């Protein structure tokens, strides 16, 4: 059964719809740097995955297909027949599942710091168990190390402080269920069916979804383009917002 996700819509009425799908442990706040540029040309639909940012957290485990159906049901409730999707990490996996299984609903795809099969899938059930047993606090600093370069994390940036606060506020069951979705996910065969114009962006220092995972996605999706942000980690969209936004906007506007 799908979940009624917390969401918000910004941008000019009648403009094409662009969905922004957030990464594990974040909220729609992660898109703050991109929103002004994107919402000038698109109606931007931001939403929070299960257990994130106030969205309900049914008991896990979840699968990527569950998260994809959540998004499709949200589009149905909003009477949005077709949209472009930009997703980071698990948000990108959600976007790939939707584009592979409901091609008529997806115009263009922008996939950031994501994978069709996680590098160490066995680690995610362990992280899920830790969230259920100990809550979010012990998971915060390891996540910050994956998300940002050490220099950026130590510089006192308010965006890093917000990222910590958002992660601390995630429902442990929702986080755990999403971790289990990451552990069981394997989209390597499915994504060959994607026909949407696709951009894949990786970061050179990303320890969670290394660049070779992004290259595999781009090589498997027909016609997809691959771009590398040099020096960023898993949430380079936050640490290197101008570079990421330019890549995304150029792709979406060129395709349209």
Write the pLDDT tens digit of every residue in 234-256.
999 999 999 999 999 999 998 54
94: nearest Cα among 71, 76, 121? 71
Write the pLDDT tens digit of every residue in 148-183.
999 999 999 999 999 999 999 999 999 999 999 999
Write the pLDDT tens digit of every residue in 80-96.
999 999 999 999 999 99
Q: How far apart are the C-alpha atoms of 103 and 202, rounded to whole Å?
A: 24
Q: How far apart are the C-alpha atoms of 17 and 63, rounded to whole Å?
A: 25
0.95 surpassed by pTM: yes
From residue 192, give the alpha-carbon distance in Å to each of 97, 174, 216: 11, 29, 11
- The full set of domains in the chain, from first to last, is 7-255 (3.40.50.1820)
Alpha helices in 102-188 (DSSP H): 123-134, 137-147, 150-154, 158-168, 172-184
Show Cβ contacts of residue 163 under 8 Å, excluding neighbours closer than 6 positions.
26, 30, 144, 147, 148, 235, 238
- pLDDT tens track, the chain, 256 positions: 778 999 999 999 999 999 999 999 999 999 999 999 999 999 999 999 999 999 999 999 999 999 999 999 999 999 999 999 999 999 999 999 999 999 999 999 999 999 999 999 999 999 999 999 999 999 999 999 999 999 999 999 999 999 999 999 999 999 999 999 999 999 999 999 999 999 999 999 999 999 999 999 999 999 999 999 999 999 999 999 999 999 999 999 985 4
């Amino acid at each position: 059964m799908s979940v009624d996700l917390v969401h918000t819509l910004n941008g000019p009425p009648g403009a094409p719809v662009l969905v922004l799908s957030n990464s594990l442990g974040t909220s729609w706040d992660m898109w703050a740097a991109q929103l002004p540029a994107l919402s000038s040309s698109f109606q931007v639909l931001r939403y929070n995955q299960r257990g994130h940012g106030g969205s309900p957290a049914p008991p896990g485990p979840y699968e990527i297909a569950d998260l994809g159906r959540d998004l499709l049901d949200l589009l149905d409730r909003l009477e949005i027949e077709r949209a472009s999707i930009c997703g980071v990490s698990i948000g990108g996996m959600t976007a790939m599942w939707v584009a592979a299984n409901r091609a008529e609903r997806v115009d263009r795809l922008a996939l950031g710091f994501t994978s069709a099969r996680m590098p160490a899938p066995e680690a995610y059930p362990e992280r899920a168990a830790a969230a259920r047993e100990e809550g979010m606090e012990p998971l915060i600093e390891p996540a910050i190390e994956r998300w940002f370069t050490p220099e950026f994390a130590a510089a006192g940036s308010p965006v890093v402080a917000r990222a910590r606060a958002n992660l601390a506020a995630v429902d442990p069951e929702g986080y755990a269920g999403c971790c289990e979705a990451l552990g069981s996910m394997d989209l390597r065969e499915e994504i060959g069916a994607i026909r949407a114009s696709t951009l894949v962006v990786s970061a050179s220092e990303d320890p969670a979804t290394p660049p070779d995972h992004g290259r595999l996605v781009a090589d498997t999706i027909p016609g997809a383009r691959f771009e590398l942000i040099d020096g960023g980690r898993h949430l380079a969209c936050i640490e290197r917002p101008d570079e990421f936004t330019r890549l995304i906007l150029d792709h979406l506007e060129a395709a349209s």
